[in-house]
Amino acid sequence: MVAGPLPAPSGPGKDRLRLWIRLLRASRTIEAELRERLRQEFNTTLPRFDVMAALYRAPEGMLMSDLSRFLLVSNGNVTGIIDRLVSEGLVMRARRNGDRRTSMVRLTEEGSKTFAVIAAAHEKWVGELLGNVSENEARRLTGMLTSFRSNWEGRE
Amino acid sequence: MVAGPLPAPSGPGKDRLRLWIRLLRASRTIEAELRERLRQEFNTTLPRFDVMAALYRAPEGMLMSDLSRFLLVSNGNVTGIIDRLVSEGLVMRARRNGDRRTSMVRLTEEGSKTFAVIAAAHEKWVGELLGNVSENEARRLTGMLTSFRSNWEGRE
DNA sequence: TCCTGAAACTTCAAGCTTGAATTAATCCGC
DNA sequence: GCGGATTAATTCAAGCTTGAAGTTTCAGGA
């Protein structure tokens, strides 16, 4: 998927394929860099960061199913990540509302403080890594990505 | 990482963060769709497809280390994927040149034929999934992504 | 009430991924 | 040649990820 044929492909549809390859390479490269820094600087991982970021926006907590929908990952996946975050004392499961199937998951106080620190560094890193993109260009690119995505996402 | 705060963030540097979040969501969404189709239609996986795509462009074969560099994944990772592809008869290891540490890896005849079929479907899918991006816009986006990436990639 | 179906999670096996440690072979300065 | 550094690949433990199967709980109609 990441492969871009050296003899550059041409023909109908090739431009979109090339776009996809670039998109994927760009996001993989950035992702790898962020993962490495999270590990080195904070001894954590990208999935944990993602989960904590989602929970940080929801002080009242989230259902497991909301989390997996929001993060675009499977149900079982979230269970494991939350398990680990709970064992680290950063997240808590609160079995509190009427429905005993569900549990509200949220950051502990420590989790919230920890995340705030990591998030600040993360934002700085992203700023650096995308430093050659002007703010204007960033907004334009964002717009393009948004519009194309919303047009087909969730179809199947 | 995928999270985009609901109360949209603002302030210096937020545009780049937002761009990164969009980029990541877009590529994850497309990736998930492609993975699902590869599984359903061809009973294969994205990593296997990536490896085969790289090998398809190199009929003479590739070293393991070339593969991992090209695909932006770790060394040990490639070993496992190649092991599985070999056991499926799609790839062969040829320990042939002077250096006995290395082995040239390449598609078998069956692997090559199989890949050609899958790649055609894959290209069609990408064309569909990015259908709302005009060819022109695709070229523009590709250009932006290329330039920004090449400016910092490989720094550390 | 009881029963059937749906919903929210968890569990599980298989595969992917990483970074670190290990093994094997080559290179190169002496 | 010898011997230490380098390079190529594999192995390993830990964690991530998926899709499928299983468990518990809830909801709504007969």
pLDDT of B97-146, one tens digit each? Answer: 788 899 999 999 999 999 999 999 999 999 999 888 878 888 888 887 77
Residues close to nucleic acid strand D (C-beta < 7 A): A 45-48, 72-77, 80-81, 84, 98-101; B 32, 35-36, 39, 63-66, 75-76, 78-80, 82-83, 93, 99, 101-103
Q: How many helices (H) and strands (E) does chain B have?
A: 6, 2
Residues of B in contact with A6 (CB under 8 A): 57
Å from the A58 CA to the C23 C1': 50
- Percent of chain A past pLDDT 70, that is, above it, reads 85
CA-CA distance, A115 to A117, in Å (whole number)?
5
Task: Give CA separation, B62 vs A116, B49, B66, B68, in Å.
Answer: 45, 15, 6, 10
- Return the minimum-mean-pLDDT range out of A14-23, A82-91, A99-108, A147-156: A147-156
pLDDT, position B148: 61
Q: Which of B1, B22, B27 sits opposite A142 (nearest CB)?
A: B22
Return all residues near B156 (Cβ < 8 A) that are at least 6 apart: A33
Mean pLDDT value across chain A: 87
- Return the minimum-mean-pLDDT range out of B3-12, B61-70, B74-83: B3-12
Contact status, residue B49 vs residue A1, Cβ threshold 8 Å:
yes
- Percent of chain A past pLDDT 90, that is, above it, reads 66
Whether the predicted pLDDT of A9 surpasses 60: no
Please tell me the pTM assigned to this model: 0.87
pLDDT tens readout for residues A102-144: 999 999 999 999 999 999 999 999 999 988 887 888 888 888 7
Q: What is the DSSP letter of B32?
A: H
